[in-house]
Amino acid sequence: MHIHRLEKVWLVIGVVLLIVFLGVLGIGAFAMGMQPPTGGHTIDPEKVSETYPFNNPGLEQIDDNEYNAYMIAYAFGFTPAKMEIPLGAKVHFQVTSPDVVHGFQITGTTVNLMAIPGEVNHYTYTFDKPGEYLVLCNEYCGAGHEFMATTIIVK
Amino acid sequence: MSRDRVEKNKEHSLKGTLASVLILGGFITLTWLGVYLLFINR
């Protein structure tokens, strides 16, 4: 098969780009253990407030400066309403919803999950910068969607 | 007749195509890098 010389040039560039993009994805997934937030952790959405650990949402220390953060996104707010996280803490977020699909985004960070009724979504983040972090719902969830926000204070 | 045939088999210039492919490829690479660096820095 005859391929034009210039065609070979852009084919090589395209294949190299594909290898780089997929390589970064593969290294993240298989070598660094990055996974999508949803992964088979289920919960009865009608019994969220009675089910451990969401019967007592908030921070739970599990190690020296390492915490689990259990949060509920509901129409139209977040529980707990305010949370203080120590500077430098590694926080494993676990988020669910008792009603409809919500978003859980901590602005300025890579924490951006969906809160899905029946699912508990996980994400780990280390807070290296002090300050007030705005938490927003970024999935339209109903008439009060725009009021659905909270703050996380890192100090 | 035979001359026409030779003309048809001659390669077209693909310089313009190469340029547009590189511009599009550059755009995709730059936006990908931008998103990747944002993710890394947050």
The burial of A56, by beta-carbon neighbours within 10 Å (0-12 exposed, 13-18 middle, 19 or more buried), is given as exposed
Report the domain count for chain A: 2
B1-42 confidence digits (pLDDT tens)? 455 555 556 778 889 999 999 999 999 999 999 999 998 888
Identify all chain A residues contacting B25, using CB atoms and an 8 Å cutoff. 10, 13-14, 17
Q: A97: domain CATH number?
A: 2.60.40.420
Report the domain count for chain B: 1
Q: Give the integer Cα–Cα distance in Å for B35 and B42.
A: 11
Establish if A7 touches chain B: CB-CB under 8 angstroms. Answer: yes
A90-131 confidence digits (pLDDT tens)? 999 999 999 999 999 999 999 999 999 999 999 999 999 999
Residues A22 and A58 in one domain: no
Q: How far is CA A19 from CA A13, A28, B28, B38, in A?
A: 10, 14, 14, 21
* B34 falls within a domain: yes
Pair of tokens at residue A6 = 């210039």
* A149 falls within a domain: yes
Beta-carbon separation of B39 and A110 below 8 A? yes
* B18 falls within a domain: yes
Single out the residue of A94, A41, A103 nearest to residue A67, CA to CA: A94
Beta-carbon separation of B29 and A17 below 8 A? yes
* A70 falls within a domain: yes
Identify all chain A residues contacting B32, using CB atoms and an 8 Å cutoff. 21
> In the prediction, which pLDDT does A18 show?
94
